[in-house]
Structures are given as structure tokens and as C-alpha cells.
Chain A
Amino acid sequence: MKAEIEVTRPGLFSTIQDMGRRGYLRYGVPVSGVMDQYAAKIGNLLLQNPADAAVLEMTLIGPTMIFHGSAKIAISGADFSPQVNKAPVSNNAVIIINPGDELSFGRRIFGCRTYLAVSGGFQTENPLDSQSWYEGVTAQSKLERGDNIPFNSAEDAALETQTAVKVESGYMEQSEIAAFPGPEYHLLSKEEQEILLNFQFSVGKNANRMAIQLKEEFENTLAPILTGPVLPGTVQLTPSGRLIILMRDCQTTGGYPRVLQISEEGMNVLAQKVMGDKLQFNLKIHQ
């Protein structure tokens, strides 16, 4: 049965995301998709949804929403003190929602992004084979007050015995980011490579779904490259010494040297970093 979630307060920045758009890079369309794939999968797993079902990704300050229909939901990822009808509920658990219930969030305890998964999934538009919101591709690019997000209401919202899901949250506090050498890594001098790997950097104020810029500048002598392919996880180094880690909504090509390529698990760790958080690259070598 079709039902809707009404947004009464939009929070800071929330979007519908799935595992991203595949097959449209050649048209310059970013991959998009959830920033923390691990957390999003946990929510879907708890509800026995397909692992790639669309979820609502909420950044730093969660929205307030009223469910017009019964539902089973799960909240995973960062801890923003979720509440149903003002009573605290747990992350990483199945929660029963009755029509008229209000879901809201309070203080941020840890992490940057929390996920709302709904049993049966969100029924939003699917342009270019993905529900992931991206300006110019989907009609909406962020959650707004008054939005009604359609979902498949659970016919029977009774709690079934569920498979236990072991959830690991330690990664969100981790400062170590596993990364592989990027195409231009070998053009750095030995000293530059050492600084890149041994220095503790911190997340700067420009951090969003497109890219995370690091605060500290890293002096270097690399020349720009002929515009070439980039990916989520590519770490670019600008002539002024800015390190830019490209995230899920990044462009498909770029002209700055690509010094590192973040591992898949490193991307999940980065997705949970907020301004000022420390991080250090840990070089992995391909076998």
C-alpha cells in the first residue's frame, strides 16, 4: 500500500540515495549513491530489504517527519539521538511506526551521516536507473519542508523474529584511511610521499557529497595533468597544496594530479567525518 512521509522540518541536508548510478559516466553523470555504504546496507539488512534499496541519507542535523501509514524502519550510521514521538529509539534496530507517528532527531553523538531505511523501500523517481538525488538529474536535490516522500507501507507492522545483524560502529571513530597510490603518486618526491602518509590531516570546512577538502596545505611541485578520469575516492592535489578527496557526487574528469585512491572501506570512514576530525592515510599496495 502506498503511503507517505511528510517532512515538517527538513534538517540540514538530506537526500534519497541508493547504491548509485551505473553506466552513465560517459555522459558526465556522477555515480552518486550513499556516502557510507556499510551503514546503509545495515539498515536494509535489518529490514530484509535488498542491500541496494534506496534510503534517506541525513547529514549532521536530522529532519522531523510524520509517517502517514504504518511502517517498519531502521536507523543506522551516525548517532543523532533518534526519537519516535519524542521518546528515544535505538540505532540499528527495527522500529515499528504507526500512522501519525513522528520521527525526529536530537543531539549528534557521533558520525556525520545517519540513514533511514523503510521496509519495502522508498518509492521515489528513478531517472537513469537510480533513485539517488542529484541536481539536474532528479527533480529534487535536497529534502525540503512540506515534502511527501512515498514509500510502500507495511501491511502488517508486527515485529517478526529477525535475524541478528552484527553492527560494527568503531570505524566511524577511526582516523586511519586506507588508500592506494593514485596515478600521479609516483611523481611526488620521496619526501613528499612521506609527508602525505605520515602527517595527520584534518577535515576542512568544505566537505560535502562532492568532495572533502582537507584543512592543511601540502606544499608540492606537481604540475597539472591533462584532464583525465577521476572517481569517488580520488585524492587530488592542487598547485596551492590543497588536498581534495572526491566523494560520491564528484565530476567524472579532473585536471589536478591524482595522488591517492581511497579504498572502498576508507570511503565509509570518510563519509562519517565532520569538520576538524583528524585523518591519516595508510598506504595499501596492490598485490
Chain B
Amino acid sequence: MKPQFPKISLMGERSILIEFEPEIRENLLERILIYKEVIERDIVKLKGEVINTYNSLLITYEYAIENAYEEFLTLEKLFQQVNIEKKLIPRLFHVPVCYDREFGLDLELISKQKYLAEKEIISIHSSPIYTVYFTGFLPGFLYLGGLDKRLHISRKNEPRLEVRKGAVGIGEKQTGIYPKSSPGGWQIIGNSPVQIFNKYEDPPCEISAGDKLKFFPVSKEEFYEISEVVEVGKYELKSEIYES
């Protein structure tokens, strides 16, 4: 019997969707990213692009797909051949966050609901090494995995009409940074002065799927100092090769 996953199907005239087990798992992400790399290199080349989410790959071509059957066969063959033992080499990025009350609008609420001191919230949030699963929602919005269970909290009943650019928030099991000001329903615990998405850079976002991220707390003074360096385009995110 043919295994259920990966499931390959057409999505409209120009795209192919490849679905894996509906799970959020680091080794699944790794497998998907290895496939993605090979698809980009061997199949898509210059005539399309590939994106990934937790458990999917989407190939989008610039033109209508003429022979889907042939494309599917090529992909299936590729999945059988690819050596998924191969290791990706992620980078670990250190992202400053100011958890001051001025930015951490919902720290008090979380503290009450979770019986945690604000200091503990900050320490729990800035300890883990998060995994970047993909970018979506807004340009430069990173979907991070690895939030400590003690900080899982529901979204606001009424979303805020405007969440500040750089806001660091929590929504259910997820945490992330708003790359620009936008309406948003997450509980806000701080703000990062760095610019995750920069349209003048190529690539516009140096953190990508598979990379790792760690938050480090900074004071208000440091926040404004970093902001000034970011403003003039001189701030460089600290990063290193991450070996697990």
C-alpha cells in the first residue's frame, strides 16, 4: 500500500501542494526543509518558488502546469532518493527584547492568570532556544516553536486595533514579534528594537525557516540605544552556527 504521506496534489493551475503528517515537530520540519532545498535545486530552478509551513510545501510556478502527472512522479521519485539523514546547519540568532512595563502591556495580566512573577515570565520567555518554522502572516513574521507550557495563554477576546512595531507577544502555544504595527490579538509582553524585515536588504529577512532564535532581555536604556543603531542601519543581529 502506498503510504498516506507525503500527499501530493494540485492547488489551482500553477501550484503543487505537498502535505506531510499534520504535526508540529522539529524533525518533520528538518525533513521538509531538506526536500525544499532539493526541489529548489532540481526542479523549480528559475521558474517558480517554494514555501514551507509546519507540515506542507507549496511549489508555485509562474505558468500553468502542463503535465501534472509527470511532475508528481518526479517528486515521488525525489522523495525516495533524498537522503534525509543529511543535517541542516541552522544559525542561532540573538534577539534583544525589552520587557519593561512600557512595552509589556499584558505582563500584569499574565502574571495574575498564571501565578508567575513578572521576573519569572521574562526568564521563562528568554530561556528557550526557539525554532523558526516558517515566515507568514506579515512580511518578516516568524512562526516560532518552543514556547514553555507555563506561558501558553489565550489570545485577547478583542484584538487591539494597533499593536506596536516590534511588539513581542504570546498567542496560545506561539510566541513572535510583530514586524510592523498592525491589528493583533496576542498578549504583549515586550518589544524588540531590531528590524526583522528590511525591504532594502537582500534577502529582506536574514532569519529563515530552520534557524534558531533566542531572546535576551535588555533595559529601556539599552532598548533606545539599539533603536538608534537600527535607525541608521548599523545594527547587526548577533548570530552563530547552532549545533544541537
A24 touches B12 (CB 8 A): no
The closest CB in chain B to the CB of A233 belongs to B12
B55 at the interface (CB under 8 A from A): yes
One of A65-73, A88-96, A143-151, A222-230 at the interface: A222-230
One of A3-11, A102-110, A256-264 at the interface: A256-264
How many of chain A's residues touch chain B, expressed as a range?
A: 20 to 34
Shortest B134–chain A CB gap in Å is 7
- Bound together, the chains give a CA A137 to CA B197 distance in angstroms of 10
- Bound together, the chains give a CA A231 to CA B13 distance in angstroms of 11
- Bound together, the chains give a CA A228 to CA B14 distance in angstroms of 17
Q: Determine the chain B residues whose CB is within 8 A of the CB of A26 once the complex forms.
A: 49-51, 134-135, 208-209
Contact of A128 among B50, B53, B57, B204 (CB under 8 A): B204
Give per-residue flags for A254-287: 1 if the beta carbon is below 8 A from chain B beta carbons, else 0. Answer: 0000100111100000000000000000000011
- Bound together, the chains give a CA A264 to CA B64 distance in angstroms of 9
Give per-residue flags for B35-63: 1 if the beta carbon is below 8 A from chain A beta carbons, else 0. Answer: 00000000000000111011111101010
A127 at the interface (CB under 8 A from B): yes
How many of chain B's residues touch chain A, expressed as a range?
A: 35 or more
Contact of A28 among B15, B19, B58, B135 (CB under 8 A): B135
A180 touches B138 (CB 8 A): no
A23 at the interface (CB under 8 A from B): yes
Shortest A9–chain B CB gap in Å is 28
B193 at the interface (CB under 8 A from A): no
B49 touches A28 (CB 8 A): no
B13 touches A253 (CB 8 A): no
Which of B1-53 touch A at CB < 8 Å? 9-15, 17, 19, 22-24, 49-51, 53
Task: Please report B residues at the A interface, Cβ cutoff 8 Å.
Answer: 9-15, 17, 19, 22-24, 49-51, 53-58, 60, 62, 64, 68, 134-141, 143, 179-180, 197, 199-200, 203-205, 208-209
Q: List 10 A-B contacts (CB under 8 A).
A: A22-B62, A24-B204, A128-B204, A226-B24, A226-B53, A227-B143, A228-B56, A252-B51, A253-B51, A262-B12
